[in-house]
Chains A and B, each alone.
Chain A
Amino acid sequence: MSGPQTKISSLSYPVERVTLRNGLRVVLAPDKAAPVVGVGVYYDVGFRSEPEGRTGFAHLFEHLMFQGSENVGKARHPQYVQGAGGTFNGSTHPDYTNYFELLPAGALELALFLEADRMRAPRITQENLENQIAVVQEEIRVNVLNRPYGGFPWITLAPVAFHSFPNAHNGYGDFSELEAATLDDAAAFFTTYYAPGNAVLSLAGDLDPDETLRMVERYFGHIPARDVPRRPSFAEPVPADERRGHQHDPLAPTPALAVGYRVPDPLSDLTAYLPVVALSEVLSNGDASRLQRRLVQRDRSVTSVSTYLGTFGDPFDQRDPLLFNLEVYHPAETRSADVLAAIDQELARVADGGLERGELARVQARLVATILREADGVLERTLAFAVFEQQRGRAELVNELPAHILDVTEDAVRAAATGLLAQGRSVLEVTPGPADAGEQA
């Protein structure tokens, strides 16, 4: 078996960038490996920015952006994209809302037209608003209300770990607040947050940069500039003492446990953040990882354990504050206190004892391979360029990330583990059964 010295290559996608007069930032990354293009539009607004009393509005508004625009009728956006052989979607995150297409190269101009039309003038009617409120409610039922562990832990851990409305509230939204949404809310939200200067357009794949820039100018250039909102700080102090939450889930067959730890700011301190990414891999990815070995293979006390960074598990798409999440499902016989004690022991083993011989190099190889495999997809690449350009003005980080991962040191991973142990973690326990069943489980 070749050892940890396996050669690790990097990425070298060329990146060009232009800012239009209206403030729209454009990133181009041409690559002819496949006759496919990716288009991503990132608006710098996520559910952390939605107003109190309107929980779920950023996500609802994402749905409304598919309901037609000045020159595109209802239901036509999907028809145009898919009828050109492409796929599309949108998603709402704590810090951004994105819209994206993956298409045969010949359909690039169509996608630019469609994205520009809705950036300029979405057409939202009362009927479409009511329709999409109903659709979003069904989305919430299928993903949260009608299933066990619904919203665990992304919705339910947040109010344990955070106390401010932007960080703590449910980004899917409260049904009554969704139902209260009005066309005026939508107009105000669009005017404030969907300004061209608050967006990044990312284009990657089989495209000609000069021709593409002319098309971008033609479709997006005439969208009037608007004021760009200042992004508020969502900072909260790192808790000194442990926080606890308890949830009863009548649909769950077994208990579950989530633990959240605060981590260094990925934007201002990438050097301190990447060791936490490596620590997550050390702890929970694959049969060689420490929590798998300890909890699954040795103690046999849990059904599964996983760790990940960020609300939805992408370590690189969220700004501060964000969590290192630990998610455990375990049989009723296992006491959560024992699981927590074992986690503490394993963190202390890293913090005090460091890593095994070769462990860091193995973990680095895995992390880099994961990044390379993701970059093979034109759409995944398009989205990574967009998020790095939006947060950092540095789409090139896609290319640079493998080298940064290889720069992580053992001492830094130890320091990352120490950082988790030193703070007040946030613990959420899920107990099967209705709330009146008590906590004897």
Chain B
Amino acid sequence: MTGSAVTGSAVTLPVVRPPGPVQLPAVLDQTLDNGVRVLAVRRPGVPVVEMRLRIPALCGQSGEQLGPDAAGRTLLAETILTGTAERDRQRIATDLQSIGGSLAASADADRLALTGSTLSDGLPALLRLVAEVLVSASYPDDEVDGERDRVEQEITIARSQPAVLAREALLGRLHPAHPYGTELPPPGAVTAVTAARMRDMHAGRVSPDRALLTLVGDLDPQEALGLAGDVLASWAGAVGAAGGRVPDVPAYPGGPLVLVNRPGAVQTNIRLGGPALPRSDERYPALQLANIVYGGYFSSRLVNNIREDKGYTYSPRSAIDHAIATSRFTVAADVATEVTAPALLEMCYELGRMALLQVSAEELGAARQYAVGTMALMSATSAGLASVLSVLVGSGLPVDYLREHPAALARVSAEDVLAVGSQVLAPAKLAPVLLGDADRVRAGLEVLGPVEVAAESPATGGRQG
């Protein structure tokens, strides 16, 4: 028995028993003749199988420098499950229900993703359906017509959310004229997309080359692999799609604080963002810990300062997010209008500390434990493990990353955190974008530096390049 009893008033915290080595089940990893890489993992427990399929490079093909095409990829994801050569929308949906299944499509600038699950007996039926969709999705004119109008309305609703507008404004500022500069189609864009365009896009982009299929759950890996090989054999590659790549991401050009005016807002959505390091960079583990110490978890400096000490905000946070061609460090806080400038001051003060001074041994140790522990927690369900594997391997990392990353985190020193902090977390390297009531917050912000006020313009999707 570890720990110590409560005796009198002197209380010692129970000792935490250190975790054993990472328990990652065996991953069967094989590439089919048509280029699809299959990962299959047996994880007994509940009789369910999780499926993730990633198909890369939705935004451009070899040599092309496509601008934002959020409209095309958004509608493709919304209509890919509305018909195949053999089944209509109803049949697809009822067949999924029959196996206790789910299947959903989503798309961003990097990839199309199909996310599914089934009662374990239904795996053959789920994979046959997925293969049928990949090979013969038909984008019926009538279904595309109906979805186009509906999706347009959904985008209108999404663009009324301040968090969405703030995110769009930040991305537009960081990546002007690049597919990464927006996550939502601009208003009206979806209404111009035709069913014929969907079918062309599917033929050109929905290719097995470098696609990644991940299956985790109550399955036999060899059987699952054989099944995937059989049903996906007829999925052929579109010529040229193999070279599809995301355009290079230009460096963030810098500039003043941008204040997007939202008259009457009772809060200001503060966003900061800038370039980070990819997971494959040897300094990445240090950056991951720097982010955690700064604002990546509840026990961070940012939360303790502007929430638990000052009460400016409910959910301040920072994060590193990764796309294929870039990685970003972002900071977010939604603060009461009247404390906008003081909150930004504290956010930058804490960034400056990360860039100029070493973190304490206690902070570093806690962040390290949190990073290692939450990796294990994320992999502790079939759905979690499937998603983690799909994201990591889909971004080019080896399967062993999950096993080896804890050791890499263990090697990080406070000096490493400072070195990477001065590079990535320095306030001077981050773009500030705020969404709030300019009349009420501008003067305070101008105390801190130059301010450029932009009109709130959902009609053009904020500041697009």
Contact = CB atoms under 8 A, between A and B. Distances in A.
Contacts of A253: 156-157, 159-160
A303 B154 contact: yes
A268 B349 CA distance: 56
A26 to B, nearest CB: 18
A378 B45 CA distance: 11
Contacts of A300: 146, 149-150
B436 to A, nearest CB: 9
Given A106-B18, A135-B314, A142-B267, A378 B119 contact: no
Given A78-B299, A130-B311, A146 B46 contact: no
Interface in A140-198: 141-142, 145-148
A224 B3 CA distance: 22
Q: Which DSSP category, helix, strand, loop or mixed, fits chain B's interface?
A: mixed
B118 interface: yes
Nearest to A285: B97
Interface string B297-312: 1110000100111111
B370 A82 contact: yes
Nearest to A251: B160
A138 interface: yes
Q: What range describes how many residues of A lie at the interface? A: 35 or more
Contacts of B251: none
B311 A287 contact: no
A222 to B, nearest CB: 7
A8 interface: yes
B124 interface: yes
B376 interface: yes
Interface string B362-394: 000110011011101101111110000000000
A214 interface: yes
A133 B2 CA distance: 38
B142 to A, nearest CB: 10
B182 to A, nearest CB: 18
Contacts of B380: 33-36, 377-378
Interface stretch (B85-93, B195-203, B445-453): B85-93
B207 interface: no
B299 to A, nearest CB: 4
Given A104-B376, A287-B93, A1 B6 contact: no
B6 A132 contact: no
A376 B381 contact: yes
Contacts of B101: 366, 369
B47 interface: yes
A27 to B, nearest CB: 19
B201 to A, nearest CB: 21
B376 A36 contact: yes
A213 interface: no
Interface stretch (A107-115, A240-248, A344-352): A107-115
A325 to B, nearest CB: 18
A15 interface: no
A287 B297 CA distance: 38
A2 B156 contact: no
Given A85-B373, A109-B14, A146 B100 contact: no
Contacts of B379: 34
Interface-centre pick from A136, A214, A366 (highest chain B CB count, 10 A): A366
Contacts of A103: 373
Given A85-B370, A365-B100, A372-B47, A138 B314 contact: yes
Contacts of A2: 98-99, 121-122, 124-125
Given A148-B157, A362-B98, A83 B377 contact: no
B16 interface: yes
Contacts of A293: 90
26 contacts: A8-B119, A9-B47, A34-B376, A88-B298, A104-B373, A104-B377, A105-B19, A109-B3, A109-B14, A110-B3, A110-B13, A135-B314, A253-B156, A253-B157, A288-B93, A288-B97, A289-B93, A329-B157, A362-B94, A365-B119, A366-B102, A369-B100, A372-B46, A373-B383, A375-B46, A377-B383
